[in-house]
């Protein structure tokens, strides 16, 4: 299987080159030329396997220039019970919410307590093998822009991995205290963390510009290095996310929650559009999906796009209690547009150029019709996010974080507006303890402690929900990174961090 660029379909690369390179030279994203097709018999076969077996099958169908041994080695190293707490890294909690049933897919049981672990525990294995295949001998420099969770998960995945260096940029005032502490205390000899004076979109745009800066790329080449990415613009980050939607469906089949071939809805809290896009790929491979419910916070650019067909980033940026979704430029939407236009790279390139130069674009009627058929968009502000956390805990004794609450709230909006009671998978993306202040204030009327870890302890005392061990350990961890810079300084910061003049 080969891959095209969304902005130039004449660019054709192998799977390993797509993963090693991260982004195409002209700024496009790599997409598979075709998708493997699974019959329902194939899905029933997947249902007989454990999570690792399902991952090996799906990854092998996309990574055709990897050997079976390479894929097995990568999967077995990534999804261990030691890292995820059980043999199933993505368990489901079944909840009755009013008169509707929700299957909450918990994607946060990994080492950084966020769904990004599901991809970033395997990406280092895929990336180092890809670089060896395509750029033998070069050192991969991983640049990451993060709105909170990707940064820590990438740092944890790549720490001390031979042949790699990783630098993470995050918005100085745009992540939770727990997320910031996770990154600032990161261990590893090949890691670096920098805060920028701006928001996530500034960080993401800055990283993209560095990726396509010929002068900087030439300097790296002179030092036997090349850039790659751990953001979901990298196909190696997105591909592993397809697995957990198939796995959830298989688990629901095995639990008798759905019948053979029955369709499900998928509700995902999303900012950069990667997580929900993975479920779109799964549907196009054969997973029975009825509707994609795209849940945003007050930065509701995706909600407006789904409803109107116009993507307009020229709007107020909100700093919310669900910071991983505080995004106005959803990079992975570009991949969706490529597929909905049947691979019309010229149209996609035109829209992306308009977004860059004018701040907005409007899709054609044929694309808007497909979006209407597949997607429902809704958003939830901070007040209703807290109310949803409180109601879910009070009525169902289920504690969720601020991002998952957005998905639950928008899912309930969808049911109220449509009456659709199709069995639904709700993607739960982070431990509630990563956002202890907001979650605690949602479930308790007591005065909040001043210290972040006192809030964690209080939340555990109130709810009796255990604190994930990696988060508890942060209390006594030593801070290593406190540097911050202007957005304009990012290119020089990268070169300085690599000791390149």
Annotated catalytic residues are 116
> Would you say 195 and 168 are in contact if contact means Cβ atoms under 8 Å apart?
no
Q: CA-to-CA distance for 176 and 173, rounded, in angstroms?
A: 8
10: part of which helix (H) or strand (E)?
strand 8-14
Q: Please provide residue 289's backbone torsions phi and psi, each rounded to the nearest 5 degrees.
A: -120, 135
> Would you say 295 and 320 are in contact if contact means Cβ atoms under 8 Å apart?
no
Contacts of 293 (CB under 8 A, 6+ apart): 265, 266, 267, 268, 375, 376, 378, 407, 410, 411, 414, 424
Q: Name the DSSP letter for residue 433.
A: G
Q: CA-to-CA distance for 246 and 289, rounded, in angstroms?
A: 11
- For 259, the token pair is 């019948």
Rg, C-alpha atoms of the chain: 21
Please state whether 395 falls in left (phi above 0), alpha (psi between -120 and 50) or beta.
alpha
> Would you say 157 and 444 are in contact if contact means Cβ atoms under 8 Å apart?
no
Q: Could you tell me the sign of the dihedral formed by the alpha carbons of 251, 253, 255, 257, in that order? A: positive
Q: Name the DSSP letter for residue 86.
A: S
Q: CA-to-CA distance for 485 and 211, rounded, in angstroms?
A: 18
DSSP H helix total and E strand total for the chain: 23, 16
């Amino acid at each position: 299987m080969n891959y095209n660029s969304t902005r130039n379909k004449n660019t054709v690369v192998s799977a390993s080159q797509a993963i090693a390179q991260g982004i195409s030279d002209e700024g496009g994203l790599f997409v598979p030329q075709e998708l493997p097709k699974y019959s329902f018999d194939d899905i029933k076969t997947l249902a007989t396997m454990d999570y690792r077996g399902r991952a090996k099958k799906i990854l092998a169908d996309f990574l055709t220039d990897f050997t079976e041994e390479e894929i097995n080695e990568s999967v077995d190293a990534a999804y261990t019970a030691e890292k995820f707490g059980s043999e199933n890294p993505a368990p489901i909690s079944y909840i009755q919410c009013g008169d509707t049933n929700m299957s909450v897919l918990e994607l946060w049981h990994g080492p950084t307590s966020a769904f990004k672990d599901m991809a970033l525990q395997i990406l280092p294995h895929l990336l180092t093998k890809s670089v060896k295949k395509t750029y033998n001998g070069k050192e991969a420099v991983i640049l990451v822009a993060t709105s909170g969770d990707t940064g820590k998960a990438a740092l944890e995945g790549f720490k001390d991995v031979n042949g790699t260096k990783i630098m993470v940029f995050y918005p100085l005032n745009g992540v939770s205290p727990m997320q910031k502490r996770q990154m600032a205390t990161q261990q590893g000899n090949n890691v670096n963390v920098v805060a920028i004076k701006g928001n996530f979109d500034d960080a993401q745009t800055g990283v993209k510009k560095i990726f396509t800066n010929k002068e900087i790329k030439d300097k790296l080449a002179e030092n036997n290095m090349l850039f790659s990415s751990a953001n979901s613009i990298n196909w190696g980050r997105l591909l592993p996310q397809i697995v957990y939607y198939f796995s959830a469906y298989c688990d629901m089949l095995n639990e008798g929650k759905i019948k053979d071939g029955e369709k499900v809805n998928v509700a995902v809290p999303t900012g950069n559009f990667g997580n929900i896009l993975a479920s779109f790929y799964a549907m196009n491979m054969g997973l029975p999906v009825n509707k994609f419910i795209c849940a945003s916070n007050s930065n509701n650019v995706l909600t407006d796009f789904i409803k109107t067909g116009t993507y307009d980033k020229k709007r107020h940026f909100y700093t919310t209690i669900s910071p991983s979704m505080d995004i106005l430029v959803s990079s992975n939407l570009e991949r969706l547009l490529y597929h909905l236009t049947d691979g019309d790279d010229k149209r996609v390139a035109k829209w992306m150029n308009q977004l860059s130069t004018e701040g907005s674009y409007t899709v054609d009627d044929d694309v808007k019709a497909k979006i209407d058929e597949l997607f429902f968009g809704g958003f939830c502000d901070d007040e209703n996010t807290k109310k949803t956390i409180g109601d879910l805990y009070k009525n169902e004794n289920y504690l969720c974080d601020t991002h998952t609450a957005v998905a639950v709230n928008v899912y309930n909006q969808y049911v109220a507006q449509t009456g659709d009671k199709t069995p639904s998978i709700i993607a739960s993306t982070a431990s509630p303890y990563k956002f202890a202040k907001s979650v605690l204030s949602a479930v308790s009327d007591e005065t909040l402690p001043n210290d972040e870890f006192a809030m964690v302890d209080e939340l555990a005392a109130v709810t009796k929900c255990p604190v994930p061990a990696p988060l508890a350990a942060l209390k006594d961890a030593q801070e290593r990174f406190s540097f911050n810079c202007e957005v304009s300084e990012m290119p020089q910061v990268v070169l300085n961090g690599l000791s390149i003049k």
